Amino acid sequence: MDKDFETIDVSVADGAATITLNRPERLNAWNQQLGLELRAAVDAVAGDPAVRAVLLTGAGRAFSSGADLGEPADTLPDGTLDLGGVLRDRYNPIITRLRSMPKPVVSAVNGPAVGIGCSLALAADLVLATRSAYFLLAFVNIGLVPDGGASAFVPARAGHARAMEMTLLGERVGAEQALEWGLVNRVVEDDALSAEAAALTARLAKGPTKAYAAAKALLNRRLYAGLEEQLEAEAQAQAEQARSKDFVEGVTAFLQKREPNFTGE
């Protein structure tokens, strides 16, 4: 396994792999490098027969604050951002691999899980969160739509009404509320997350691997049939929004730390 990652850390012990997003100075925001390295790491642990369970978490004060809007982005020949291409090339393969790998995946959410960071957390099979954690589909706040599978994961976990609330209002959902809604499995004290998540992942790594794989496949078949088609639909919708004036205004307002003035164009 590649040990030369710069934006993530990967470790394997006793059948449990831990992948840690490691851009704490940017609250683990996703830039191109992090997306590429995370995809490589997820592929590596998925294909490693020595790995029987996987833990995802973030370094520092956040799980992930979402896409890094301050970094140079992929663009199309007309100068617009290639959000559809980014999703197809980097984000969606990560999400698909997490859902399809025949191994249990745990996410340990240690603070904000925003945008694609929220999608990543909810792509896991079991989700643990600290009391200070929160989940936020921030896409609407910059004129975008949910991506990274959020349009599948949130309604599957929390139902239609709560998915619409998170999607349209773009407000934080705290850990206790997330537990009540069914977004997460457990809420733990902030200083207990590391130990609790490690213990749970170790337990899964020692469990009946084939039974876990079969059970995950059955639940995927029931809850996430058509996930790849949904991810492609998200990519198409996001590509369309990237050409809107509201998206330009949303990003500009975010970077200028002011309220956006959306016009519906």
CA distance to 182, 225, 251, per residue, from 244 (Å): 34, 31, 11
pLDDT band at 73 (very low <50, low <70, confident <90, very high): confident
Q: How confident is the model over 215-260, as pLDDT tens digits?
A: 999 999 999 999 999 999 999 999 999 999 999 999 999 989 999 9
| Residue at 203 is within a domain | no
Q: Note the pTM of the prediction, 2 decimals.
A: 0.96
- Do the domain assignments include residue 262? no
Does 79 have pLDDT greater than 90?
Answer: no
Q: Is residue 233 domain-resident?
A: yes
Instruction: Output the CA–CA distances (angstroms, integers) from residue 15 to 45, 47, 131, 192, 205, in the order listed.
Output: 10, 13, 28, 22, 5
Q: With respect to residue 132, please indicate whether it lies within any of the assigned structural domains.
A: yes
CATH code for the domain in which residue 34 is found = 3.90.226.10
pLDDT score for 71: 79
In a domain, 230, yes or no: yes
Alpha helix segments (H runs only) across the chain: 32-47, 83-86, 92-100, 116-122, 150-158, 160-169, 175-181, 193-205, 209-223, 227-241, 245-256
Share of the chain above pLDDT 70, in %: 99
Q: What is the pLDDT of residue 76?
A: 82
Pairing of strands 53-58, 16-21: parallel
196: in domain: no
Residue 239 in any domain: the answer is: yes
Quote the domain boundaries for residue 37: 8-191+208-256
Longest dimension (CA), the chain: 55
State how many domains the chain has.
1
* Section 190-204 average pLDDT: 98
Question: Measured at the alpha carbon of residue 126, what is the angle toward residues 199 and 196, in degrees to the nearest 5?
Answer: 25
The answer to whether 176 and 131 are in contact (CB under 8 A) is: yes
Does the pLDDT of residue 1 top 60, yes or no? Answer: no
Structure-block tokens of residue 209: 């691997």
Average pLDDT over residues 196-208: 98
Q: Is 236 helix (H, G, I), strand (E, B) or coil?
A: helix
pLDDT band for position 4 (cuts 50, 70, 90): confident
- The string over 190-203, giving b where at least 16 C-beta atoms fall within 10 Å of a residue's C-beta and e elsewhere, is eeebbebbbebbbe
Q: Is the pLDDT of residue 112 over 80?
A: yes
Decide if 92 is inside a domain.
yes
pLDDT at 74: 81
Q: N- to C-terminal Cα distance for the chain?
A: 47
